Amino acid sequence: MNIPKAIEGALAAAFVENMDLDMLPRIRTFQAPDIDGRWTTLDDRVFPMLFIVAAPPSTSPDEGWTQICQSSILVATQADDDQDHSKIAGIYSEAQKVLDNLISQFIAQTAGAVRNSFDMYLSDKAPVEYAAISIGGFSAGDGLSPYEEGGNNFIGMTFNVHYSRSDY
């Protein structure tokens, strides 16, 4: 069972289905780079890019039965193509809106497009993981300050998925 991979995919689905992809040619996850169907081995890292990496779960220090999967979401553009940082700021804004909606829809316990995208991916593409976990909430983690490195611009955020498991 690979819950982090399932969460990477569910977050990618939420972004793919709820963002304006005209500004973003690639959404990539660490464990399944072809998640959005546009990846090839010859065309691996295309900018601008939104890159999702989910860490192995940890146990909540407050509750021994709740697990947390922390995902890093990195937005990247090429510095030469985005000198005024407007592309990266626009992509970051859209990505943050999707994550805010995911949290909001969970708190309000109302169905919404973003939560539906997340849940549908899990039930359709990761049914074993979906059957074993019960989502207990979402939260924002630490942010990554914008920086430039190797001719690329980066800004990132972390997003936590809280869940319990029924299989142990």
pLDDT of residue 41: 73
Provide φ and ψ at 72, rounded to 5°.
-95, 130
Mean pLDDT of 100-120: 94
Short-list 6, 103, 9, 91, CA closest to 50: 91
Spatial distance between the Cα atoms of 46 and 141, rounded to a whole number of angstroms: 26
Pairing of strands 133-149, 49-54: unpaired
Say if CB 98 and CB 113 are below 8 A apart: no
Judged against a pLDDT cut of 90, whether residue 166 lies above it is answered with no
Taking the model in full, what pTM does it have?
Answer: 0.93
Mean pLDDT of 94-111: 94
Say if CB 36 and CB 59 are below 8 A apart: no
pLDDT of residue 54: 97
pLDDT of residue 4: 96
Question: 3-163: what fold?
Answer: Alpha-Beta Plaits (3.30.70)
pLDDT of residue 139: 95
Q: Which residues contact residue 36 at a Cβ distance below 8 angstroms, ignoring those fewer than 6 apart?
A: 12, 16, 26, 27, 28
Q: Got the DSSP string for 100-138?
A: HHHHHHHHHT---HHHHHHHHHHHHH-HHHHHHEEEEEE
In percent, the amount of the chain with pLDDT more than 90 equals 73
Judged against a pLDDT cut of 90, whether residue 18 lies above it is answered with yes
Tens-place pLDDT, residues 32-84: 887 766 677 777 678 899 999 999 999 877 777 789 999 999 999 999 999 99
Query: Which class for 83: exposed (0-12), middle (13-18), buried (19 or more C-beta within 10 A)?
Result: exposed
Short-list 73, 94, 81, CA closest to 158: 73
Q: Which residues contact residue 116 at a Cβ distance below 8 angstroms, ignoring those fewer than 6 apart?
A: none
pLDDT of residue 158: 97
Q: Could you state, in order of their start, the residue ranges of all structural domains in the chain?
A: 3-163
pLDDT of residue 34: 74
Judged against a pLDDT cut of 90, whether residue 110 lies above it is answered with no
